[in-house]
Structure 1
Amino acid sequence: MAIFKGSGVALVTPMHNDGSVDYDKLKELAEWHVQQGSDAIIACGTTGEASTLDDDEHIAVIETVVQQVNGRIPVIGGTGSNNTQHGIFLSTEAERVGADALLVVTPYYNKATKKSLVAHYEAICSKVSIPVILYSVVSRTGMNLTPDAVAELKKIPNIQGIKEASGDISQIVEIARLVDEDFALYSGNDDQVLPLLSVGGSGVISTIANIAPKQTSEMVHNYLTGNTKAAVDTQLAQIPLIQAIFSEVNPVPVKAAVSLLRNEPLNYRLPLGEPEEATMERLKREMTAYGLL
């Protein structure tokens, strides 16, 4: 059964000028997404700069979002690691602070075999009781979750879905063929939401939802309720803005876009930094065209 249907925002993590986490702004962003109609919030994913947060910050970010949301929509904690024991620690801590589910990326860099990959996920899942969403993003991790691997992993009881960000539509279709209706398929690519929904997907874990949460949620629900024309119109209208927010490595442009929307800095932590001026101009142009500025 899907943890959520619709649009889950892969939330940016606001930071002070010195790079420390700005928990007050984080609360404001979480509240805004609840009010704007996001169907779930994913804290400490790629877009949340999780790879540069230390463990205390990582858990504090998830806990802050959980407390602000207060059960109104699901909060999903990103807790993947290339170190299985570290993944277990982050996952159990995220469950302890109230996360409704976990987003667990494949173990990057190590290049595990399918057998050891399954053992990795079994080890994490055995220590938590909340649902787990697999996260496949080969461009980041160097490891693709193949359809046959997903078919094997879905046998683990609390693995209940996948964020599929390979960009390979043929692979997504094959995964959809191999899983059942109780296994949630979420798009990890904002420009491929409707193709994924067309083969039985449940929604999107979205980057663009950081600046267009209402529109992105409505797009998914329009499609799921049969209003396909409206959904297609939204998907196509978003493409130039999606291209702008991925014109540099994520989350650099989208965090700048959130800053433009809020008219306040959210800052970055090295090795990420401010986008190029041309990127800023493109963001302003496309956000204006889309009616956000």
Structure 2
Amino acid sequence: MKGIITALITPFHEDGTINEKGLKEIVRYNIDTMKVNGLYVGGSTSESFLMDEKQKQQLFALVKKEAGETVPLIAQIGSLHVEEAVRLGNEAKQLGYDALSAITPYYYKFSFQEIKAYYQRLTEETNHPMIIYSNPAFTGAQFSVDDYGELLAFPNVIGVKYTDTDLAKLAKLKQMHPDKIFFSGADEMLFPFAVSGADGAIGSTYNLIGKEAIQLYEAIQASDLKTARDVQSQMNQVIDYLLDVGVYQGIKHVFKQKGLDAGFMKFPFRELTEEEKKNVEKILGIIEK
């Protein structure tokens, strides 16, 4: 389970229910057109932290039904309600998801021992491959190399979605734990992450630029650094436009321009203004060259 994995968006109807038709189209687009190496379902990009448990279960089931066995699937189950996370993990396992992932418990300033106990309970009660989702900018939980070592020691923990900018730490972790998988979580930094030893990347912008991300990653593997830098520069043009208007809103609008039913945002996310729509449509000129 390596390479470029799309953090899947979720199309909603205006009333906040999942747009099943649009979701199927986006799953197919990622698999058939972007040709990504897997799908990460239920993460930040899916707006899952705005969903209730029943809707998350629905999302997992719909994606699995459409994707089948074509690519590996990772279910993000993290929740402040640990019992919910366990139920979601076992549900995803039963559906046939290849691995689980869980965001670090957030909002409260949990100690590392409390966070460790959380992951221990999840891994023991789901008994399925687990990828730690470390995103210190959003959760406030920063792990040391030794902290990561303790989490990686759990039998079912196979790796980390590393959404951090400390590349020296990543390189050291990869050296110390060569049998574990480390995914970049920063799309605009795929080049330096790949050079530092990342086994792949999980990101929201790969809904639109998955092919480019694969090209960059393969260029690094072939030691073609010039091509990799050039592709990263092209990707960052797209990412900058998305950051200007809102990444998830921007992706959905570009999808609509491409004929996909990308639906609405989940409340309280807002929709784009007409000016923002025109601005983000410039992405089409980049990705359709």
Which among 275, 282, 285 is matched to residue 285 of structure 1? Answer: 282
Q: Alpha-carbon deviation of 1:150?
A: 1.0
Gaps of 5+ in 2: none
> Which residue identity is paired with 2:88?
L
Describe how 1:138-287 pairs up with structure 2 within 5 A. 138-177=136-175, 179-262=176-259, 264-287=261-284
Gaps of 5+ in 1: none
Q: 1:255 to 1:67 in 2, by over 3 A?
A: same
Describe how 1:113-152 pairs up with structure 2 within 5 A. 113-152=111-150
Identity %: 24
Q: TM-score, normalised by structure 2?
A: 0.92
- The DSSP-based 3-state class of the residue aligned with 1:116 is helix
Larger deviation, residues 168-177 vs 125-134: 168-177
- The DSSP-based 3-state class of the residue aligned with 1:71 is coil
Q: 1:172 to 1:89 in 2, by over 3 A?
A: same
> Which residue identity is paired with 2:105?
P
- The DSSP-based 3-state class of the residue aligned with 1:8 is strand
* Number of the residue aligned with 2:6: 9
Cα distance in 2, alignment partners of residues 145 and 279 from structure 1: 37
Cα distance in 1, alignment partners of residues 283 and 270 from structure 2: 21
Which among 107, 110, 119 is matched to residue 109 of structure 1? Answer: 107
More helix as a share of residues: 2
- Verify the 8 A CA contact 1:43 1:75 in the aligned structure 2: yes
Cα distance in 2, alignment partners of residues 196 and 183 from structure 1: 15
Cα distance in 1, alignment partners of residues 93 and 116 from structure 2: 21
Which among 40, 43, 55 is matched to residue 41 of structure 2? Answer: 43
- Verify the 8 A CA contact 1:136 1:166 in the aligned structure 2: yes
Q: Alpha-carbon deviation of 1:47?
A: 0.4
Q: 1:168 to 1:243 in 2, by over 3 A?
A: farther
- The DSSP-based 3-state class of the residue aligned with 2:202 is strand
- Verify the 8 A CA contact 1:13 1:26 in the aligned structure 2: yes
Q: 1:89 to 1:248 in 2, by over 3 A?
A: farther
Q: 1:8 to 1:175 in 2, by over 3 A?
A: same
Cα distance in 1, alignment partners of residues 162 and 108 from structure 2: 20
Per-residue CA distance 1:144-174 (angstroms, 9 max, x = gap): 2333221110000111111111233344334
Larger deviation, residues 158-167 vs 6-15: 158-167
Q: TM-score, normalised by structure 1?
A: 0.91
- What RMSD, in angstroms, separates the aligned Cα atoms of the two structures? 1.9
Cα distance in 2, alignment partners of residues 144 and 277 from structure 1: 39
For the pair 1:80 / 2:58, whether they are aligned, the reply is: no
Cα distance in 2, alignment partners of residues 284 and 123 from structure 1: 45
- Verify the 8 A CA contact 1:82 1:110 in the aligned structure 2: no
- The DSSP-based 3-state class of the residue aligned with 1:127 is helix
- The DSSP-based 3-state class of the residue aligned with 1:196 is helix
* Number of the residue aligned with 1:24: 21
- Verify the 8 A CA contact 1:211 1:261 in the aligned structure 2: no
Q: Alpha-carbon deviation of 1:203?
A: 0.8
